[in-house]
Structure 1
Amino acid sequence: MAKKKKLIKKSSLKTFSFFLVFSTVVWFLVQFSKTYTQLIEIPVTYTNVPLDKSIAEDRPENISLQLQETGFSIYYFKIFNPELIIDLSKANVDGTDLVYRIDDHVTDIKEQLQIDLENSRIIQDEVRIPFQFKKEKTIRIVPHIDISYAAGYNADEPVRVTPDSVKISGPEKMVDTIESIKTRELDLTRVNQDLDGEVKLDTSGYGKISFYENSVRYFQKVEKFTEGSVEIPVEVINIPNGLNLAYFPKSVVVYYQVNLKRFDKINRSDFRVVCDYSEINEGDDFMVAKVVEKPELITNLRLNERRIQFVIKR
């Protein structure tokens, strides 16, 4: 009999617990289904700041939304805290403020926040963002492009970029220190045809600087090249008066590359190779040969011998 009473008590406790939980859930559902009015702060993020302007640090960080929604919607806003993204390219200039009028952007705000603004409303009529004009300046663009050509190919002119300069804007102290900017590093190998491509500017490290262009096109005309050589006599300069100097070799071979179309324009008389006796270090028995005159058309110049041995005759 005692066992039966115990079972009845256990069953009653389970039934009571079930109805307690059920009634609690129903109560919460009823309460959350009701409509409430509550003031909520919505965080604001700004995008598309005009390049010639810098917005102030003390800009508004929130807008106030008077939300008239069910408890579920209000709970969602409090938990997930959605933000409003304000596109400053759509704001108007008023003195030293950018003005974003709420009534002009109702559709965009409704889509972002997923709310019905017929029942709810944003307290502010407008968001005013103070700004300062940035200093502007045009700087050179330096190509950071490393090119290695296929055998038999080269270029007469260095790689060029267009545009060759870019306008920047930002805080005056920073802008004044910048004279040029490099492109991102680009390695091109086995090049055997004209170059024509795009490369981005390396804007890393310029956090507060705005660039009116972010990339440039690079060009270079690549042509067939051939190797030529010519034997040139070695000339020794700055020999002290009365010094009898003998040196060897008396001539060196100059190797060079030249555009195949211009090969016939290279003459032996275009070159001059000299050794400067005044540059000899004490104890040395050689001089260093240098090419001091050469045609502008040639590249990759080298000598078969740079050390010129010498003796002083007594």
Structure 2
Amino acid sequence: MKTFSVFLFFSALTWLLVQLSKEYTQIVQVPLTYINAPLDKSLSAEKPQEVDMRLHEQGFYILYYRIFRPKLTIDLAKTEVDGNHLVYEIENNRNAISEELGIDFDNATFLDSEIQIPFQPKQERRIAVVPNINVNYAVGYSAGEGVQLEPDSVTVSGPKSIIDTLQSVPTLPINRNNINRDITGQVKLDTTHLGMLSFYRDEVGYSLEVEKFTEGSVQIPVEVRNVPESLNLAYFPKKILVYYQVNLEDYDRVKPSSFKVVCDFKNVNEGEDYFLAQLVEKPDFVNNIRLSERKIQFVIKK
């Protein structure tokens, strides 16, 4: 039985090799993939997924194409527009097809002379780019303005239903620590979950001007507004300190008269005996402002 089985195996193998070495004509399905889609067009979900090819080759080759199914890449940059279809001509791309599939056109024939890919026009819109850049400064340093992007908006195209609801796109996150000098760089856009849209650029430049800052303080009188004339009201403290951070070069420009702190009697709830101080005026070139007191106590004299 062992000897018989060995001879049977080799006989079957020999028969299979002989059969596969013969030439056959078969139709095989070649899967399609697409690259370089036009930014102003959206391919339809009904686009062709495969194309039929008549192959006249030895059985080995036909078996290979049926098992491994090599794909044909359709470069949409090489198509022509015909109505609402992109047309890929087989004859005009013989060399690329032959090289990718490893076929000889003397032994292979596509049943269709062209591949028609339906599309829909995309709507274009320019949307803002929002920086997702977190900066921690070294002691004594800060920035007068936030991170600047160049450009600060990008053109995007896609289905109208999506484009109309999209207001902005963030950048990928960047964290910079202990910064004490100007920084610049490039950052990619975060297009996660936006694969159905086409962005005309996928990254923007960012910059941040870092300056030497110092902290100062000024004493500002508290102004009380909207107190009824019938009330005799006393409040304290009558002055509070306003702490601020300013560029070292602008330190001498800071004047107490540039600040104003007010309390509004209209904002006092029944039963309360204090105001909440609010800073309503400040110089444009100072930041990180805080008040030494927020609650201003008051009493009503009878």
TM range (shorter): over 0.9
1:244 is aligned to 2:232: yes
Partner of 2:242: 254
List aligned pairs for 1:294-305, cutoff 5 A. Answer: 294-305=282-293
Q: Are 2:277 and 1:289 equivalent residues in the alignment?
A: yes
47, 50, 53: which one aligns with 1:65 = 53
Match of 1:186 in 2: 174
Distance 1:177 1:16 in 2: 74
> 2:77 is matched with which residue?
89
Question: Once the 2 structures are TM-superposed, how far is the Cα of residue 205 of structure 1 from its aligned partner?
Answer: 2.4
Separation in structure 2 between the aligned mates of residue 109 and residue 159 of structure 1, nearest angstrom: 48
Equivalent in the alignment of 1:18: 6
In structure 2, the CA distance between the partners of 1:121 and 1:312, relative to structure 1 (3 Å rule), is: same
For 1:51 and 1:14, the matched residues in 2 are separated by 66
Q: Which runs of 5+ in 2 are unaligned?
A: none
Question: AA paired with 1:140?
Answer: A
1:197 aligns with 185
Distance in 1, Cα, partners of 2:166 & 2:51: 38
Instruction: For residues 103-135 of structure 1, give each alpha carbon's deviation from its aligned partner in whole angstroms, at most 9, with x where no partner exists.
Output: 222222122222222222222221111222111
Instruction: Look up the match of 1:77.
Output: 65
Unaligned stretches of 5+ residues in structure 1: 1-12
Q: Provide the C-alpha distance between the structure 2 equivalents of 1:131 and 1:89, rounded to a whole number of angstroms.
A: 14
State the alpha-carbon separation in 2 of the partners of residues 271 and 56 from structure 1: 61
What is the identity, as a one-letter code, of the residue corresponding to 1:43? P
What are the Cα deviations for residues 65-101 of structure 1, in whole angstroms up to 9, with x where unaligned? 1111111111111111222111111212223221111
1:19 aligns to what SS in structure 2? helix
TM-score, length of structure 1 as denominator length: 0.91
> Are residues 1:212 and 2:200 paired?
yes
Aligned to 1:309, the other structure's residue is in SS state strand
Aligned match of 2:164? 176
Of 105, 118, 121, which aligns to 1:130?
A: 118
- Counterpart in 2 of 1:6? none
SS state at 2:257 partner? helix
Instruction: Pick the aligned partner of 2:142 from 154, 158, 166.
Output: 154
CA offset at residue 14 of structure 1?
4.0
Give aligned-pair identity as a percent. 51
* Cα distance in 1, alignment partners of residues 110 and 255 from structure 2: 83
1:162 CA drift (Å):
0.9
| 2:258 aligned residue | 270
1:3-44 deviations in Å (ceiling 9; x for gaps): xxxxxxxxxx44433333222211111111111111111111
Asked whether 1:36 is paired with 2:21, we answer: no
How many aligned positions are there?
302
* Residue 193 (structure 1) shift: 1.2
CA distance in 1, matches of 2:2, 2:146: 88
Q: What is the one-letter code of the residue matched to 1:66?
A: R
Selected match of 2:106 from 118, 121, 124: 118
Say what the alpha-carbon RMSD is for the aligned residues.
1.5
Report the counterpart of residue 8 of structure 1 in structure 2: none
2:86 maps to which residue?
A: 98
TM-score, length of structure 2 as denominator length: 0.95
Aligned counterparts of 1:16 and 1:181: Cα–Cα separation in 2: 72
Q: How far, CA to CA, are the matches of 1:24 and 1:277 in structure 2? A: 102
Query: How many Å apart are 1:273 and its aligned residue?
Result: 1.0
- Deviation of 1:145 after TM superposition, in Å, equals 2.1
Q: Secondary structure at the match of 1:89?
A: helix
Q: Distance in 2 between matches of 1:163 and 1:291?
A: 34
Secondary structure of 2:229's counterpart equals coil
Which deviates the most, 185-194 or 84-93? 185-194
Deviation at 1:306, TM superposition (A): 1.3
Following the alignment from structure 1 to structure 2, what is the Cα–Cα distance between the partners of residues 265 and 110? Answer: 75
Quick check: 1:139 aligned with 2:127? yes
Matched, 1:233 2:221: yes
| Residues in 2 aligned to 1:313 and 1:189: alpha-carbon distance in whole angstroms | 54
Question: Which contiguous aligned blocks of 4+ residues in structure 1 show a shift greater than 6 angstroms?
Answer: none
